[in-house]
């Protein structure tokens, strides 16, 4: 028996900046790239310079006809929804368990989001999707949660059979593959966030990927105007007449952000490879622990390991609560462990409970009527760990797993004091 740090014992990891998870890595090459861009241009009106270079690199990497950079992942999703030309008669199937920005831009179209429950990995469940398709369904949106690919070939088959679009939110899954094919290339279009935490960071930025010219022209015109639209939309296309003004928004990426992402693209495959190696060694040990379930990785799938999200079932650990376990792990120095509770069933947010208070198209409706039991359980059991990526980070990954072992093996100490923990009274 060893004394837990929460009770005054020696912590597994000292509180030191060198023990923190560091992301993004702002290396010398990134600083140089930003400096050079600063001296070249900080506003680019057309598809040239760093914008063109990054878009071309992404098109080649994903083998798609079009990569369009945007100001954020949210903007990329918004542009895709605009490209679908959705209206109040339309329904769009969305995951109930995802980051809210997967769905929030949809509300600007007046279409109805139809929330669907998840599988054991927190990903959209294709069987549930099928049950919710109606004559009004225009699209299925899937997020590859935490970088673990959803059952995207099943979803593509469901979409194909129903004659509707599949849209991927691959914001967590840059670099993930399913059946050897890049996640983000299975549907009609996909969105990827380049926000600072993401695997390809720009700081702020996003990408629309599509091989549909129509989706590209509409996404382009939705968030760009004048030169880009005049140069890239064919003169015989409906949108050509609107090229000077675009359709109302400006969603361009900042050139300095594009310069960061372009440089980070050079190292992203090394990062992905190290995350894979570290994740697999962590999974092997974590899977042995009481109460812990590691993600199920289907054969022929390669996650990007944006994060490692465990499922913790306290009934298998004598009732030690997730909050108490988290507290004890933090005390052991594992300060980058998180209970990702702001990623929760979206129907719990006022925006989806009372959308009509904000968007008149929705009148007195609520999208929060139904049951999403798997998503609720998934969120209530989730414990999120970083997946490290630098040479030498194995030491930190091992220490985190050591801390889990120490706390769970000595859980009797914690159970004696568990009542002192304030209840988790979030909704
Ligand atoms: C799954 C998912 N979708 C969309 C977004 C939105 O991206 P952004 O923050 O770049 O707007 C994020 C992250 O922030 C995300 O995690």
176-211 residue pLDDT tens: 999 999 999 999 999 999 999 999 999 999 999 999
The answer for 68, left when phi > 0, alpha when psi is -120 to 50, beta otherwise, is: beta
Kindly report whether the peptide bond that precedes residue 24 is cis, defined as omega within 30 degrees of 0: yes
pLDDT at 419: 65
Torsion of CA 68, 80, 76, 155, to 10 degrees: -100
pLDDT at residue 391 in the model = 85
Q: Is the CB of 306 under 6 A from ligand 1?
A: no
CA distance 137 to 26: 43
Q: Is the dihedral of CA 235, 226, 101, 300 positive or negative?
A: positive
Give every residue of the chain whose pLDDT is below 70, as ranges.
1, 419-427
Ligand 1 closest atom vs CA 145: 1
Q: What pLDDT score was predicted for residue 422? A: 52
Three-state DSSP at 4 gives: coil
Task: Choose the residue to mutate in 69, 71, 73 for probing ligand 1, maximizing ligand atoms within 8 Å of C-beta.
Answer: 73
CA of 115 relative to ligand 1 center, distance in Å:
18
Contact in structure between 323 and 421 (CB atoms under 8 Å): yes
**Predicted local distance difference test score (pLDDT) of residue 425:** 43
pTM: 0.97
Q: Tell whether ligand 1 has an atom less than 6 A from the beta carbon of residue 143.
A: yes
Nearest 10 degrees: Cα torsion 408, 409, 414, 418:
50
CA dihedral 365, 367, 369, 373 (to 10 degrees): -170
Q: Which residues of 340-378 are buried (b: 16+ CB within 10 A; e: fewer)?
A: eeebbbbbbbeebeebeeeeebbeeeebbeeebebbbeb
For tokens 């090394």, what's the residue?
Answer: 270
**Is 168 in a helix, a strand, or coil?**
strand
Please tell me the predicted confidence (pLDDT) of residue 427.
39
pLDDT at 2: 85
- Is the CB of residue 146 below 6 angstroms from any atom belonging to ligand 1? no
- For ligand 1, say whether the CB of 255 is within 6 Å of any of its atoms: no
How far is ligand 1, taken at its centre, from the CA of residue 44, in Å?
Answer: 24
> Ligand 1: does its nearest atom lie under 6 Å from the Cβ of 343?
no
Ligand 1 pocket, 99 CB below 6 A?
A: yes
Q: Residue 156: its pLDDT value, please?
A: 97
Residue with CA at minimum distance from ligand 1 atom 7: 73
CA atoms of 183 and 230, how far apart (whole Å): 31
- The CB of 195 under 6 Å from ligand 1? The reply is yes
Ligand 1 centre distance from Cα of residue 313 (Å): 28
Q: Ligand 1, residue 75: give the atom nearest the CA.
A: 11
Q: What backbone phi and psi angles, to 5 degrees, belong to 135?
A: -65, -15
* CA 227–ligand 1 middle distance (angstroms): 28
Cα dihedral 268, 187, 379, 127 in deg (nearest 10): -140
Q: Is the CB of 123 under 6 A from ligand 1?
A: no
Q: Is 169 in the pocket of ligand 1 (CB under 6 A)?
A: yes
CB 97 less than 6 A from any atom of ligand 1: no
Residue-level pLDDT at 343:
96
Residue bearing the CA closest to ligand 1, atom 3: 102
Pocket test for ligand 1, best of 77, 99, 189 (most atoms within 8 A of CB): 99
Phi, psi angle pair for 166, to nearest 5°: -105, 125
From 95, 146, 195, mutation site for ligand 1 pocket: most ligand atoms within 8 A of C-beta: 195
């Amino acid at each position: 028996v060893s004394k837990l740090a929460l009770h005054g014992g020696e912590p597994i990891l000292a509180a030191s900046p060198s023990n923190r998870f560091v992301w993004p890595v702002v290396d010398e090459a990134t600083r140089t790239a930003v400096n050079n861009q600063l001296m070249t241009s900080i506003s680019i009106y057309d598809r040239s310079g760093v914008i063109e270079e990054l878009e071309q690199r992404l098109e080649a990497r994903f083998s798609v006809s079009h990569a369009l950079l945007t100001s954020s992942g949210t903007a990329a999703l918004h542009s895709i929804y605009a490209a679908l030309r959705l209206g109040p008669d339309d329904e769009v199937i969305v995951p109930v368990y995802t980051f809210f920005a997967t769905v929030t831009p949809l509300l600007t179209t007046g279409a109805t989001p139809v929330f669907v429950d998840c599988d054991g990995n927190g990903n959209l469940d294709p069987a549930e999707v099928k049950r919710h398709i109606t004559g009004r369904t225009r699209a299925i949106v899937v997020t590859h949660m935490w970088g673990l690919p959803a059952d995207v070939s099943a979803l593509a088959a469901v979409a194909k059979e129903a004659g509707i679009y599949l849209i991927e939110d691959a914001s967590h899954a840059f670099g993930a593959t399913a059946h050897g094919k890049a996640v983000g290339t299975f549907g009609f279009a996909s969105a990827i966030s380049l926000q600072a935490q993401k695997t390809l960071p720009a700081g702020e930025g996003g990408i629309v990927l599509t091989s549909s010219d129509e989706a590209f022209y509409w996404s382009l015109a939705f968030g760009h105007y004048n030169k880009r639209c005049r140069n890239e939309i064919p003169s015989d296309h409906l949108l050509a007449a609107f090229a000077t003004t675009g359709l109302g928004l400006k969603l361009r990426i900042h050139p300095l952000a594009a310069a960061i992402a372009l440089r980070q693209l050079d190292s992203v495959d090394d990062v992905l490879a190290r995350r894979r190696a570290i994740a697999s060694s962590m999974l092997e040990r974590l899977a042995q622990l009481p109460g812990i379930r590691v993600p199920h990785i289907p054969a022929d799938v390669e996650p990007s390991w944006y994060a490692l999200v465990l499922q913790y079932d306290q009934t298998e650990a004598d009732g030690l609560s997730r909050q108490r376990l988290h507290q004890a792990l933090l005390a052991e120095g594992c300060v980058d462990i998180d209970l990702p509770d702001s990623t929760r069933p979206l129907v719990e947010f006022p925006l989806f409970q009372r959308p009509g208070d904000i968007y008149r198209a929705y009148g007195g409706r609520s999208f929060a009527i139904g049951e999403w039991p798997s998503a609720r359980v998934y969120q209530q059991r989730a414990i999120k760990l970083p997946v490290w990526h630098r040479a030498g980070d194995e030491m930190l990954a091992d220490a985190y797993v050591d801390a889990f072992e120490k706390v769970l093996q000595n859980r009797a100490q914690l159970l004696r004091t568990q009542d002192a923990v304030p209840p988790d009274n979030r909704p």
